[in-house]
Amino acid sequence: MFDREAIQQLSEAEAISAAQVAVDNAIGENALHAIAALPAHFTVHDLEQRLPLRRRARGTMTTSRLEDFAAYAAAHLEDGAITFVHADQMQAVAVLNLGTPAKPGHADNLAIFKPATTAAYDAIKAIESAPNAQRQHTQTKLAEWLEDWAECITCFDADAQAIDLRKAIAAVRAITIESARKAESVEGQLSSERSAFESVKATARTPLPAFVHVSCEPYAGLKKREFVLRLAVYPDDKGVNLGLRMARAEWHREEMALELASLVRGALAASMQVALGTYVAK
């Protein structure tokens, strides 16, 4: 006689054998659908880590060197591999096992090329004010920033006339705040009006730079570009703050992305297709 526990163990053994057959059939080479019905309390274990070799290549390689990216991608690409250049993130992602419509891959074997930003471009991004988020700086901070990057900077006034950088820095350091208040009162037989007007104005002994041009390579390997930063003054009765906003920032991003795509195409030659955009496997 078999007791209840023995019967249960025999049932589980038969279920395990049946599950093994179902899994083998589901993942076999000729299987059309990788689906198997298993009891809810069964756990399927992946034994790949116990095998001498992995079943397939997958992983992510990341580098800031274009030649290393191209060499790795060329050595590991499979049928249907494509490189996508992401404009906003300024990076190229090679999906090495994307596959084809007839034989789609898992799209989880990647090579990523993300060029390093230069110190000068990092300085621009750190000092500039975002269009929808006003970022203000003290006179001292902005003046010191102009001094630190003097070799890359040219200043211009509102009439597009060049200003000597030393004079521009002196003007930033010596801004004067002028405040005026005007009050008016009108008393009528049946009415009474009160109005007040207050103005705050910032002036300097020498002309303030209206535009700051910064010439630099934004990313390693990309050509030198000239970025125009507009100076804004925010005076109040307590002092003055300054802001720099990049003109045509979106245009610069588009141009740099196109240049990056051109560099990647040249490095990959005819080994892989390159497209502007992103890809997310589902």
Are both 132 and 226 inside the same structural domain? yes
Counting residues of the chain whose pLDDT is more than 70, the rounded percentage is 70
Position 267 pLDDT exceeds 50 = yes
Average pLDDT, the chain: 81
pTM: 0.74
| Alpha-carbon gap, residue 263 to 276, rounded angstroms | 13
The distance from CA 192 to its chain's CA centroid, rounded to whole angstroms, is 58
The residue among 50 and 120 whose pLDDT is bigger is: 120
Position 129 pLDDT exceeds 70 = yes
Render pLDDT for 9-58 as a digit per residue (tens, 0 to 9). Answer: 545 655 556 556 655 665 555 555 555 555 666 676 666 677 787 778 89
Write the CA distances from 62 to 80, 85, 117, integer angstroms. Answer: 20, 14, 15
| Alpha-carbon gap, residue 214 to 28, rounded angstroms | 61
Mean predicted confidence (pLDDT) in 180-187: 51
pLDDT of residue 233: 85
Domains of the chain: total = 2
Are both 37 and 155 inside the same structural domain? no
Q: Which phi and psi (to 5°) does residue 78 adopt? A: -120, 180
| Alpha-carbon gap, residue 100 to 106, rounded angstroms | 11
Please report whether residue 98 resides in a domain: no
| Alpha-carbon gap, residue 66 to 97, rounded angstroms | 20
- Report which DSSP code applies to 173: H
Are both 126 and 242 inside the same structural domain? yes
Render pLDDT for 216-229 as a digit per residue (tens, 0 to 9). Answer: 999 999 999 999 99
| Alpha-carbon gap, residue 82 to 88, rounded angstroms | 19
Mean predicted confidence (pLDDT) in 243-259: 93
Tokens linked to 248: 């045509």
Pick from 18-27, 61-70, 169-178, 269-278 the range whose average pLDDT is largest.
61-70
Q: Which domain holds residue 243?
A: 119-175+206-249
| β strands within the chain, DSSP E | 59-63, 82-86, 91-95, 109-113, 153-156, 162-163, 175-187, 192-204, 211-216, 225-236, 239-246, 273-276
Please report whether residue 230 resides in a domain: yes
Domain boundary at 27, 45, 63, which?
Answer: 45
Please report whether residue 276 resides in a domain: no
Please report whether residue 270 resides in a domain: no
25 phi-psi bin (left φ>0, alpha ψ -120 to 50, beta other): alpha
The residue among 130 and 199 whose pLDDT is bigger is: 130
The residue among 176 and 251 whose pLDDT is bigger is: 251
